[in-house]
Amino acid sequence: MIHLTINGKQITAPEGATILEAAKQNDIYIPTLCYDEAVEVYGACGLCVVEAEGIPKLLRSCSAKVSEGMVINTESERVVRSRKVAMELLMSAHDGDCVAPCQLNCPAHTDCQGYVGLIANGEYESALKLIKNKIPLPASIGRVCPHPCEKACRRKNVEEPINIAQLKAFAADMDLKANSYLPDIMVRTGKKVAIIGGGPAGLTAAYYLNIMGHSVTVYDMMDKMGGMLRYGIPQYRLPKEVLDQEIALIEKSGVKLVNNVKLGKDFTINSLKENNDAVIVAVGAWQSSSMRTPGEELAGVYGGIDFLRAVINGNAPAIGDKVVICGGGNTAMDACRTAVRLGAKEVYVVYRRTRNEMPADKLEIDEAEEEGVIYKFLTNPISFNGENGKVTSITLQVMELGEPDASGRRSPVPVEGKTEEIAVDSVILAIGQKLVQGDVSELTLNNRGNIEADPDFFTTNIDGVFAIGDATNRGASIAIEAIGEADRCAKAVDAYLNGQSLDTRVPYISKRDEKAIDYSDRELKIRLTPKVLPPEVRNKNFDEVSLGFTEEEAKAEASRCLECGCREYYKCKLLGVAQLYDIDPERFRGEMPQKYTRDENAFIERNTAKCILCGLCVRSCREVMDVHSIGLMGRGFKTDVSPAFSLPLDQTNCTNCGLCVSLCPTGALTEKSTLQKQVPLNEEYTEEFVEIDGKRVSVLVSRYNGKVLRVIPNDELSRSMQLSREELIEKLT
């Protein structure tokens, strides 16, 4: 035995062993992408370098042998610098998406591609569980979210984006109709958390902290939980029965809900802090913003959220026959469509830009128009006029579009001397909402008048008190933004309660060059949207407008997904090493040497654009299987892995053993998504059973000389568990 030291740890290793083997036997991690015990040492990736005392050059640990008294450092400054350069060179030529653009653009980072794919396969329960990893109110959010995910969906470059939000609602509705899913709760920690505010932010934080094992109580000033989901969104868009079901599940999971108690009256932040280990302030923004326009104080002029809340509470004001709504967002759409349903005969939406610049969802804009709403674009209120203290008309300044503003939209400018007057019975100001500052007098506010909270840790000026949602920093935003914040805040609070630090570093991921993607081979498939009630029916009542997807429609719409994100994301060795270091591949970026390819093969999909030329596929095919169906073609920068004569794999002697797929450290070689249904039970594949979390699951296993080459989940349960190949092999052996 050889005695040596690695990272200050004295170890022994057999004579002739490599440094990498010695390190692995002693649980010391050294990254490598081209090494596997099944094949000969190759040393292609350059990542396994280590520094040895007395030796001037760095050693490749996969090939360098141990020697007596050797002192090794696997993470010295010089080693890390070398690995970073190696990773930057590898990633500069790696053209692939680790994560789909839809997921990246979702404020809650929901795995949209994952649950859309599961819906396409009819695996609704698994889809729902995946959604609830990030959103505890998916049936509600699926109905009301302005779906920023869809704005990033690459399917729009073929025809139209995937209807992601409605698919989320579909999966959640299927769950509510069946035995509604409840998460497993960790062992109780004995820690107590109080949350002020039962809106989407507060309920989300409560849901995830409860799962983490903490005792959570939510306090809310209203009769029922839900915040703006309940009191700011009309029944025809979000039936409160659906919201009630989802909140009931949160309560059933163990969260305590307390209503009709108000901050500043029934308790203070500090009084809650005295009786809890942490407090989260998620009070929302319940005050309508002012336009600062003369005449706002007149009777008949209502704030947007005040108006909607009154209607939802059954106290709808008498708005008369002629109503003007000021604003262009979704609250304005909610207000104008509600006014129509209350019986107003003329409902106008006044907006200072054009239809194209309206921030409201296009579907909402179109459906409002179908219901009789009249748009007055390029107009802006300059006064509300009245008699005897009651509004009677509105004077509008006619506008035109000038230069783009900071958001990229063209700024409206007044047309000199051109105005218009409209007779009205009431006016609804739907231009925004803000925090009621008196409610949070114990906390420090920023120059916007919102709670000042750390953007990463959500901490406030009081130790142990956190703040999230519409009441903080930039102010009111969409519900999914608050949900995303609440999820991250739950992790921050959990770390605080456990005395741990929280890593907020944004890990590196690979993204494709959008301009270089070719969609010419994609079949055109029309976007499906759920059927809706006819305009002449729906504008007379508050019944839900959307009838939702049928199973057939949902599966068809979900099947349009381009699957942009890498299916190997959770087990990609390349990404795992890339995220160890702060790398900047752009400094080596040049023309991509490889082209995205899709070879005709029943089982294996090849994407040479993701290949890093580690050689594992070529060497395993040659050395282990003795097949030689693929090899390295070309020279220098343009080298790539290709079947002989560049034939499709199906025209080579490839046996579809899958060893190359198993060893590939990137997503360059993957099993096709329908593989589980195509692999025959023959002499190469045998059905075996393993026990996972006390459940017996079926897998298909391919072996060579007794060694497991490939493991394929064979039933719905095993596929949904997303276990890595290594974990399955460990259970099989």
What is the percent of the chain where pLDDT is above 90? 72
Same domain, 315 and 417: yes
Residue 80 lies inside a defined structural domain of this protein: no
Count Cβ atoms below 10 Å from residue 241 Cβ, excluding itself. 10
Strand locations in 405-509, DSSP E?
Answer: 410-423, 426-429, 433-434, 465-467
Closest CA to 354 of 403, 418, 410, 417: 410
Is a pLDDT exceeding 90 seen at residue 722? Answer: no
Is a pLDDT exceeding 90 seen at residue 381? Answer: yes
> Measured between alpha carbons, how far is 619 from 606 in angstroms, rounded to an integer?
16
Closest CA to 196 of 274, 108, 240, 257: 257
Residue 505 lies inside a defined structural domain of this protein: no
Same domain, 271 and 226: yes
Residue 121 lies inside a defined structural domain of this protein: no
Is a pLDDT exceeding 90 seen at residue 695? Answer: no
Same domain, 404 and 443: no
What is the percent of the chain where pLDDT is above 70? 93
> Measured between alpha carbons, how far is 320 from 348 in angstroms, rounded to an integer?
13
Do 433 and 285 form a contact (C-beta atoms < 8 A)? yes
Average pLDDT over residues 83-87: 95
Higher per-residue confidence, 675 vs 551: 551
> What pLDDT, on a 0 to 100 scale, did the predictor assign at position 375?
97
Is a pLDDT exceeding 50 seen at residue 408? Answer: yes
Do 319 and 426 form a contact (C-beta atoms < 8 A)? yes
Query: Which CATH number do you get for residue 20?
Result: 3.10.20.740
- Which tens digit of pLDDT belongs to each residue from 605-630? 888 888 888 999 999 999 888 888 88
Average pLDDT over residues 157-165: 96
Unique residue bearing structure tokens 């349903």: 341
Confidence of residue 682 (pLDDT cuts 50, 70, 90): very low
For residue 690, what are the domain limits?
679-733
Is a pLDDT exceeding 80 seen at residue 591? Answer: no
Query: Which CATH number do you get for residue 205?
Result: 3.50.50.60
Do 617 and 663 form a contact (C-beta atoms < 8 A)? yes
> Measured between alpha carbons, how far is 493 from 261 in angstroms, rounded to an integer?
23
Is a pLDDT exceeding 70 seen at residue 707? Answer: no
Is a pLDDT exceeding 60 seen at residue 683? Answer: no
Q: Which segment of 236-250, 369-383, 581-595 scores lowest on mean pLDDT?
A: 581-595
Average pLDDT over residues 291-297: 95
Same domain, 361 and 485: no
- Which tens digit of pLDDT belongs to each residue from 327-350? 999 999 999 999 999 999 999 999
- DSSP, res 64: P
Provide the residue type at 84 as one letter. Answer: K
Same domain, 399 and 300: yes
Confidence of residue 14 (pLDDT cuts 50, 70, 90): very high
> Measured between alpha carbons, how far is 550 from 543 in angstroms, rounded to an integer?
19
Is a pLDDT exceeding 60 seen at residue 242? Answer: yes
> What pLDDT, on a 0 to 100 scale, did the predictor assign at position 673?
59
- Which tens digit of pLDDT belongs to each residue from 512-560? 988 888 898 889 999 999 999 999 999 999 999 999 999 999 999 999 9
Last residue of a domain, which of 75, 110, 130?
A: 75
Instruction: Give me Rg for the CA atoms of the chain.
Output: 30
> What pLDDT, on a 0 to 100 scale, did the predictor assign at position 712?
66
Is a pLDDT exceeding 60 seen at residue 677? Answer: no
The tally of domains found in the chain comes to: 4
Do 691 and 731 form a contact (C-beta atoms < 8 A)? yes
> What pLDDT, on a 0 to 100 scale, did the predictor assign at position 203?
98
The overall average pLDDT reported for the chain is: 90
Average pLDDT over residues 469-482: 95
Is a pLDDT exceeding 60 seen at residue 594? Answer: no
- Which tens digit of pLDDT belongs to each residue from 489-518? 999 999 999 999 998 888 899 999 888 888
Residue 151 lies inside a defined structural domain of this protein: no
> What pLDDT, on a 0 to 100 scale, did the predictor assign at position 687?
76
Is a pLDDT exceeding 80 seen at residue 697? Answer: no
Residue 670 lies inside a defined structural domain of this protein: no
Same domain, 341 and 423: yes
Collapsing DSSP to helix, strand or coil, 483 comes out as helix
Strand 322-326 to 346-351 pairing: parallel
Closest CA to 4 of 77, 55, 78: 55
> What pLDDT, on a 0 to 100 scale, did the predictor assign at position 111?
95
> What pLDDT, on a 0 to 100 scale, did the predictor assign at position 651?
83
Same domain, 198 and 249: yes
Same domain, 419 and 312: yes
Average pLDDT over residues 669-676: 63
Last residue of a domain, which of 21, 40, 75?
A: 75
Last residue of a domain, which of 75, 95, 113?
A: 75
> What pLDDT, on a 0 to 100 scale, did the predictor assign at position 679?
41
> Measured between alpha carbons, how far is 389 from 426 in angstroms, rounded to an integer?
12
Strand locations in 389-518, DSSP E?
Answer: 390-404, 410-423, 426-429, 433-434, 465-467
Same domain, 277 and 255: yes
> Measured between alpha carbons, how far is 456 from 670 in angstroms, rounded to an integer?
36
> What pLDDT, on a 0 to 100 scale, did the predictor assign at position 681?
36
Residue 695 lies inside a defined structural domain of this protein: yes
Strand 433-434 to 287-288 pairing: antiparallel
Same domain, 374 and 455: no
Same domain, 215 and 269: yes
Residue 272 lies inside a defined structural domain of this protein: yes
HSE-CB for 503 with a 13 A CA cutoff: 5
> Measured between alpha carbons, how far is 178 from 252 in angstroms, rounded to an integer?
16
Same domain, 215 and 255: yes
Residue 157 lies inside a defined structural domain of this protein: no
> What pLDDT, on a 0 to 100 scale, did the predictor assign at position 704?
58
